[in-house]
């Protein structure tokens, strides 16, 4: 099987790493790739949104499966272009990708399908949005309607902050065309986590869970980023709750999309808020997350190539998706100034040493090579991922490896997964102190 992966970040590096382990894959391409990916796959000098040229390449090289990593080409309809040419491709159509490319569309579909989500309102006019904010009696979240690289969400503590967010997004154009319309929704409290399912157009199979860390600084302070780190599995999502997510979120969403004539095939990523028995959907994405993908691929024990090919053909089965019970952690190493900006062309040292730590992989996100030297070339530079029998061990390995890597201005959150460790320790203590039934007392 010849496989083409589209993209150039840490997510695509992780996908290439896992796809390359499949005995079915005879040749792996990546467009455009990066220095880390290029050690695993043949680079193709085409950008992810060059749909026609990518189709020509896939046809000329007899590619058996194309896997799309980033959201932008999906939103622009790259899957439709490939399917018109009869070329197998994993990912949703442009119509189905609206679950991510338009938050207003996703909220309307959730309301129609009975999927639990926060109350909301949609605005194209900034003055009307401000009036709505000033009459609200509850804390709000302001979201750019379109794609904003995971950064278009402002969680507001006060009405004044929400008014400022509206001006920032709608009038000062912080996210360009993506912010011409905003969704303003009631702020939810609880534990935020991510759930992933693979869908083949007719049915879905659960893939796994993760919890990411969006703010740039420890303690969830500072502006939102594309992701500073993640771990998998999310301890709050046990088997009972996973079954509820499939029943109350994934299945009705797929049914609603099919009823609209846009059956969903690809990765459905549900951002969830959990509080006690309450379950709400914050948003949908239509691809593997980043850096969640890196953590999930560290735990994936099945044949990813065969699973994705089966999804394209409408033949996905539960047995194809196997995750290790081990834990995995991904830690992003970012440039000074991220997410507002980044420094490029700075030498990176220590990657080879970091990869000698047991159960560690270093995925390249924003790197380049100049005169044989690995350089920074983006905001998120590297994602150090580790696997362990438990979360504490995975965290230790990830930070041991991350501390071996150096580049000027490097910033790392030091608390990825730490809150989960405290919660797990608290739950264990509570269980230990809970009075035991009479028959179990010694």
- pLDDT, one tens digit per residue, over 281-301 is 999 999 999 999 999 999 999
Grade residue 426 by pLDDT with cuts at 50, 70 and 90: low
pLDDT exceeding 90 applies to what percent of the chain? Answer: 86
Contact 364, 36 (CB under 8 A): yes
Grade residue 438 by pLDDT with cuts at 50, 70 and 90: very low
Could you tell me if 342 and 385 lie in one domain?
yes
Position 186 pLDDT exceeds 80: yes
Position 439 pLDDT exceeds 80: no
- My answer on whether omega of the bond before 339 falls inside 30° of 0, hence cis, is yes
- Within-domain flag for 217: no
Q: Residue 65 forms beta bridges with which residues?
A: 3
- Within-domain flag for 201: no
* Helix (H) / strand (E) containing 384: strand 380-388
The pLDDT assigned to 434 comes to: 58
The pLDDT assigned to 435 comes to: 59
Q: What is the pLDDT of residues 162-174, one digit of tens each?
A: 999 999 999 999 8
Please tell me what DSSP assigns to residue 170: I
- Within-domain flag for 257: no
- Provide the mean pLDDT of the chain: 94
Give the count of beta carbons closer than 10 Å to the beta carbon of residue 389.
12
Position 429 pLDDT exceeds 80: no
The pLDDT assigned to 423 comes to: 82
Which range of residues forms the domain containing residue 59? 2-91
Q: What is the pLDDT of residues 22-43, one digit of tens each?
A: 999 999 999 999 999 999 999 9
The pLDDT assigned to 223 comes to: 87
Position 428 pLDDT exceeds 80: no
Q: What is the pLDDT of residues 377-409, one digit of tens each?
A: 999 999 999 999 999 999 999 999 999 999 999
Please tell me what DSSP assigns to residue 188: -
| Structure token pair of residue 374 | 């690995």
pTM score, whole prediction: 0.93
Q: What is the pLDDT of residues 300-318, one digit of tens each?
A: 999 999 999 999 999 999 8
Could you tell me if 79 and 136 lie in one domain?
no
pLDDT exceeding 70 applies to what percent of the chain? Answer: 96
Beta strands in 236-299 (DSSP E): 265-275, 278-285
Task: For strands 229-232 and 204-212, give the pairing.
Answer: antiparallel
- Within-domain flag for 46: yes
Please identify, among 36, 71, 91, the residue that sits at the C-terminal boundary of a domain.
Answer: 91
Could you tell me if 136 and 173 lie in one domain?
yes
Q: What is the pLDDT of residues 48-93, one digit of tens each?
A: 999 999 999 999 999 999 999 999 999 999 999 999 999 999 999 9
The pLDDT assigned to 369 comes to: 97
- Residue-wise over 246-257: b if at least 16 C-beta within 10 A, else e? bebbbbbbbebb
Residues 237-244 have a mean pLDDT of 92
Could you tell me if 63 and 130 lie in one domain?
no
How many domains is the chain built from?
Answer: 3
Grade residue 152 by pLDDT with cuts at 50, 70 and 90: confident
Could you tell me if 330 and 392 lie in one domain?
yes
Residues 248-258 have a mean pLDDT of 97
The pLDDT assigned to 48 comes to: 97
Q: What is the CATH number of the domain that holds 350?
A: 3.90.600.10
- Within-domain flag for 80: yes
- Within-domain flag for 140: yes
Q: What is the CATH number of the domain that holds 166?
A: 3.30.1490.20
Residues 6+ away with beta carbon under 8 Å from 427: none
Contact 164, 174 (CB under 8 A): no
Could you tell me if 18 and 67 lie in one domain?
yes
Q: What is the CATH number of the domain that holds 23?
A: 3.40.50.20
- Within-domain flag for 300: no
Could you tell me if 86 and 127 lie in one domain?
no
Could you tell me if 72 and 14 lie in one domain?
yes
- Within-domain flag for 241: no
Task: For strands 89-90 and 380-388, give the pairing.
Answer: unpaired
Which residue, chain included where needed, has tokens 């150096």?
406
* Helix (H) / strand (E) containing 32: strand 27-32
Could you tell me if 388 and 331 lie in one domain?
yes
The Cα 45–Cα 413 span in angstroms is 33
Could you tell me if 62 and 123 lie in one domain?
no
Q: Which of 210, 370, 369 is nearest to 290 (CA)?
A: 210
Q: Which of 416, 417, 390, 412 is nearest to 402 (CA)?
A: 412
| Structure token pair of residue 179 | 């912010």
């Amino acid at each position: 099987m010849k496989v083409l992966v589209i993209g150039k970040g840490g997510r695509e590096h992780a996908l290439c790493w896992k796809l390359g382990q499949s005995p079915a894959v005879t040749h792996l391409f990546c467009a455009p790739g990066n220095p880390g990916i290029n050690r695993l796959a043949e680079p193709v000098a085409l950008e992810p949104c060059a749909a026609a040229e990518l189709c020509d390449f896939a046809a000329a090289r007899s590619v058996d499966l194309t896997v799309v990593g980033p959201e932008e080409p999906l939103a622009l309809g790259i899957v439709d272009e490939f399917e018109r040419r009869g070329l197998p491709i994993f990912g949703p159509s442009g119509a189905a990708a609206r679950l991510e490319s338009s938050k207003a569309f996703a909220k309307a579909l959730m309301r129609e399908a009975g999927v639990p989500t926060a109350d909301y309102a949609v605005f194209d006019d900034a003055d009307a949005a401000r009036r709505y904010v000033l009459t609200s009696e509850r804390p709000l979240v302001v979201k750019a309607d379109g794609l904003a690289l995971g950064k278009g969400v402002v969680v507001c503590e006060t009405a004044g902050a929400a008014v400022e967010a509206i001006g920032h997004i709608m009038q000062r154009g912080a996210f360009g065309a993506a912010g011409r319309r905003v969704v303003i929704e009631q702020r939810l409290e609880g534990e935020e986590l991510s759930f992933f399912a693979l869908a083949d157009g007719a049915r879905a199979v659960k893939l796994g869970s993760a919890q990411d860390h969006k703010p740039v600084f420890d303690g969830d302070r500072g502006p939102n980023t594309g992701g500073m780190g993640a771990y998998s599995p999310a301890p709050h999502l046990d088997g009972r709750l996973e079954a509820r997510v499939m029943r109350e979120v994934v299945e009705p969403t797929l049914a609603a999309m099919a009823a609209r004539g846009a059956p969903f095939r690809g990765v459905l990523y549900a951002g969830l808020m959990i509080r006690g028995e309450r379950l709400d959907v914050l948003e949908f994405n239509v691809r593997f997350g980043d850096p969640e993908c890196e953590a999930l691929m560290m735990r994936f024990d099945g044949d990813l190539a065969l699973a994705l090919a089966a999804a394209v053909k409408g033949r996905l089965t539960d047995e194809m998706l196997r995750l290790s019970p081990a834990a995995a952690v991904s830690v992003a190493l970012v440039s000074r100034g991220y997410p507002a900006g980044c420094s490029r062309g700075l030498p990176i040292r220590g990657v080879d040493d970091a990869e000698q730590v047991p159960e560690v992989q270093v995925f390249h996100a924003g790197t380049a090579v100049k005169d044989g030297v690995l350089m920074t070339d983006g905001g998120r530079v590297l994602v150090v991922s580790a696997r362990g029998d438990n979360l504490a061990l995975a965290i230790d390995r990830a930070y041991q490896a991350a501390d071996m890597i150096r580049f000027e201005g490097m910033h790392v959150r030091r608390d990825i997964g730490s809150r989960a460790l405290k919660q797990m320790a608290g739950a264990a203590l509570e269980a230990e102190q809970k009075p035991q039934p009479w028959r179990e007392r010694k």
